Amino acid sequence: MAEESWHEARLIPTSGINGAEEQERRATSALLAVLSAVKEFGRGFVKPFGAPAGGLECFIEVPFVLGERRLYPDGLIRVSRGSKAWTALVEVKTGANNLETEQLENYLDIAREQGFDAVITISNEIPAIAGQHPTKVDKRKLRKVSLHHVSWSQVLADAVMQKEFRGVADPDQAWILGELIRYLEHRKSGALEFDDMGEAWVGVRDQVSAGTLRSTDKGIAEVVARFDALLRFANLQLGRQLGTEVVPVLSRKETADPSIRAQGLAQALCATGELSGAIRIPNTVGDLVVTADLRSGRVTCHVDVDAPREGRPTTRVNWLVRQLKAAPDSTRVETFVAHARGSQAAELLSVVRDEPSTLIHDAAKEIRTFRLATTTTLGTKRGRGRGSFIDSVLLSVDGFYRDVLESLRAWSAAPPKLRPAAMSESPEVDPDVSTSLVSTDYSSQDGASLAPPRTGSLPSPDFDSNTQP
List of E strands, 153-307 = 247-248, 274-280, 288-293, 298-306
Over residues 391-407, mean pLDDT: 95
Burial class (CB in 10 A: 0-12, 13-18, 19+), 260: middle
User: Whole-model pTM?
Assistant: 0.80
pLDDT single digits (tens) 127-181: 877 778 999 999 999 999 999 999 999 999 999 999 988 899 999 999 999 999 9
Cα-to-chain-centroid distance, residue 458: 66
DSSP assigned state of 54: S
- Rounded-to-integer distance, Cα 135 and Cα 249, Å: 23
Say what the pLDDT of residue 443 is. 57
DSSP secondary structure code for residue 91 in this structure: E
% residues pLDDT > 70 (the chain)? 88
Tell me what pLDDT residue 432 has. Answer: 58
Which residues are bridge partners to 276 per DSSP? 291
Query: Which tens digit of pLDDT belongs to each residue from 253-297?
Result: 988 888 899 999 999 999 999 999 999 999 999 999 999 999 999
Q: How far apart are CA 363 and CA 344, in angstroms?
A: 11
The Cα–Cα gap between 257 and 277 comes to 16
Lowest mean pLDDT across 116-120, 331-335, 440-444: 440-444
pLDDT at 459: 47
CA atoms within 13 A on the CB side of 147: 24
Q: Would the pLDDT of 464 be above 50?
A: no
pLDDT value for 436: 56
Residues 6 or more apart whose Cβ sits within 8 Å of residue 102: none
The DSSP annotation for 274-323 comes to EEEEEEE-TTSSS-EEEEEETTTTEEEEEEEEEPPSSS-HHHHHHHHHTT
Across all residues in the chain, what is the average pLDDT?
87
